[in-house]
Amino acid sequence: MRVNRFLRRWSAVLLCGVLLLSLPSCDSANAVDIPGNESECTIDASLLADGGVGKDGIPALTDPEFIGASEVNFLNGTNRVIGFVVDGQAVAVPHNILWWHEIVNFTFGGLGMAVTYCPLTGSSMAFDRASAGGGEFGVSGLLFQNNLTMYDRTDDESLWPQMNREAGCGPRTGARLTMLPVMEMTWDGWKALHPDTRVVSDNTGFLRNYTPTGYPYGNYEAPSNGSLLFPMQIDGRRDPKERVLGVPAGDGGMAFPFFDLDAEGPYRAVQREVGEQDVVVFWDREKQGAMAYLPRAAGQDLTFEGREDGLFDTETESRWRLDGLAVDGALAGQRLEPVADAYVAFWFAWALFQPQAFLWQHNAAEAPPPSDPTAGR
């Protein structure tokens, strides 16, 4: 079987992370080229590491080809996608594409956006590129706390750790990225909600294995797998790579673990105050997805609950979908406003980037961050 040079090199980097967990980092992390004045970085530059593939060694995509759902032959039903709706059109960006490219730059009319996924931190996030001066994003080849570090393709090239949501080094240091609401779920789940969805095609111009068997990281994303490319402290309250829906609020916020959301049945609605904002988190087991919304529609505050047959508000008994649309009842056709900053990530990464966040737990009080984040691990 032919293995291209990129895959050989990236496999070697992964092997370095798996076998040398006792070391602070692999040798390739010793020298990092940081744009601008390192002393002006708002992040700890010592936590930037060379991922081993070089700048643009993982090639971001820009305005890729789309195909219809019926034309997709490189996904199975349980493959995960990042979905969003723009100008009334549903769009799906498969993880299978993002395993190999990590960033897809889109232009829709006057909206320039970047859909991003870091396979090492499991983080699915989308940004309005206008908040980065409108430039395209590329993959810098650097990692910050194991997280994808983007760079903007301008003359100045600032560094933007994805989960930091702002420029950490370079001329734009401190500039915040505006997040756009996206949802992560299974391909079958997204198709059920949006059968007319457009999908980023596997005809990218690059030779990569985008099929369901093409995941290049072995068992890395198994929930209990504590191996990281560059070892970091792991908060032991959850399995390291359990997916959580995180709702940030400053350095805090709240994380909603998938396993606990799934504990009581096929649907779950959890209402909490996060920061100074009331939110409701919807969970759908069949779609393996969660999303946060403001619990208000048609001018009224709503209370939600998950039942065996769906998600309902108790005020009007309307039935709601995972994507925030009421499909039956007095409020049919109404939509909840999504919390744009909410995103899915592996637990270990969420806890690193939101160290003051609370942890929502099934049948338990919210747990504040521990004084010893490694307790139990």
**Which among 261, 245, 25, 234 has a CA at the least distance from the CA of 144?**
25
Does one domain contain both 248 and 185?
no
Indicate if 108 and 161 belong to the same structural domain.
Answer: yes
How high is the pLDDT of residue 167? Answer: 94
> What percent of the chain lies above the pLDDT cut of 90?
80
Nearest-angstrom CA–CA distance, 64 and 70: 18
Q: Same domain for 9 and 156? A: yes
Q: Encode pLDDT of 309-331 as tens digits.
A: 999 999 999 999 999 999 999 99
Same-domain pairing of 182 and 276: no
Q: With bands split at pLDDT 50, 70 and 90, how would you rate the model's confidence at 245?
A: very high
The DSSP H or E segment spanning 96 is: helix 95-101
CB 284, CB 276: distance < 8 Å: no
| Residue 110 covered by a domain | yes
State how far Cα 104 lies from the chain centre.
13
> Identity (one letter) of the amino acid at 191?
K
pLDDT at residue 8, as a whole number: 37
* Claim to verify: residue 164 and residue 265 sit in the same structural domain: no
Q: What distance in Å separates the CA atoms of residue 128 and residue 159, rounded to the nearest whole number?
A: 16
What pLDDT is recorded for position 35? 63
CA distance 167 to 152: 9
Range of the domain at 188: 5-200
- Confidence at residue 177, expressed as pLDDT on a 0 to 100 scale: 96
Residues 177 and 253 in one domain: no
pLDDT of 30 reads: 43
Taking a C-beta distance cutoff of 8 angstroms, is the pair 286, 190 a contact? no
Of 135, 136, 126, give the one whose Cα is nearest residue 178.
Answer: 126
Residue 123 in any domain: the answer is yes
pLDDT at 376: 39
- Return the pLDDT at 365: 77
Output the pLDDT for position 15: 37
What average pLDDT score do residues 17-41 get? 49
* 281 shares a domain with 185: no
Sequence-ordered strand ranges (E) for 193-332: 198-200, 243-249, 252-257, 267-274, 277-284, 289-294, 296-297, 300-301, 304-307, 310-313, 319-320, 326-328
**Residues with Cβ within 8 Å of residue 247, at least 6 apart in sequence:** 253, 254, 255, 256, 274, 279, 281, 292, 339, 341, 342
* Span of 12-26, 102-116, 124-138 with lowest mean pLDDT: 12-26
Q: Give the Cα separation of 102 and 53 in Å (integer).
A: 13
What average pLDDT does the chain have? 89
Angle at 122 (CA atoms; ends 183, 338), nearest 5 degrees: 20
8 A C-beta contact, residue 114 and residue 103:
yes
Residue 154 has pLDDT above 90, yes or no: no
List CB contacts of 325: < 8 A, sequence separation 6 or more. Answer: 333, 334, 335
Q: Is residue 189 located within the same domain as residue 321?
A: no
Q: Is the pLDDT of residue 21 over 50?
A: no
Residue 37 lies in a domain: yes
Residues 172 and 26 in one domain: yes
The residue from 173, 200, 227 where one domain ends is 200
Domains identified in the chain, total number: 2
pLDDT for 55 equals 94
> Of 168, 200, 232, which one is at a domain's C-terminal end?
200
Residue-wise pLDDT for 119-130, tens only, equals 999 999 999 999
On whether residue 301 sits in a domain, the answer given is yes
Q: Taking residues 208-224, what's their average pLDDT? A: 97
Regarding whether 195 and 279 lie in a shared domain, the answer is no
Q: DSSP 3-state assignment of 136?
A: coil
Residue 223 lies in a domain: no
CATH of the domain at 293: 2.102.10
More confident residue, 240 or 157: 240
Q: Is residue 235 in a domain?
A: no
For residues 17-28, give the mean pLDDT: 34
Residue 288 lies inside a defined structural domain of this protein: yes
Q: What is the pLDDT of residues 297-306, one digit of tens each?
A: 999 999 999 9
Q: How many CA atoms lie within 13 A of 330 on its CB side?
A: 9
State pTM to two decimals.
Answer: 0.90
For residue 18, the model assigns a pLDDT of: 35
pLDDT band at 211 (very low <50, low <70, confident <90, very high): very high
User: Which among 142, 169, 200 is the end of a domain?
Assistant: 200
Residue 88 lies in a domain: yes
354 closest CA partner among 254, 230, 224: 254
Q: Are residues 131 and 273 in the same domain?
A: no
**Is the confidence at residue 107, as pLDDT, over 50?**
yes
pLDDT digits (tens, 9 = 90+) for 181-200: 999 999 999 999 999 999 99
Lowest mean pLDDT among 18-22, 132-136, 201-205: 18-22
The pLDDT value given to residue 23: 30
Does residue 172 share a domain with residue 63?
A: yes
Cβ 174 vs Cβ 160: under 8 Å: no
- Length of the chain equals 377
Closest by CA to 354, choosing from 342, 339, 338, is: 342
- Element at 5 (helix H, strand E): helix 5-19
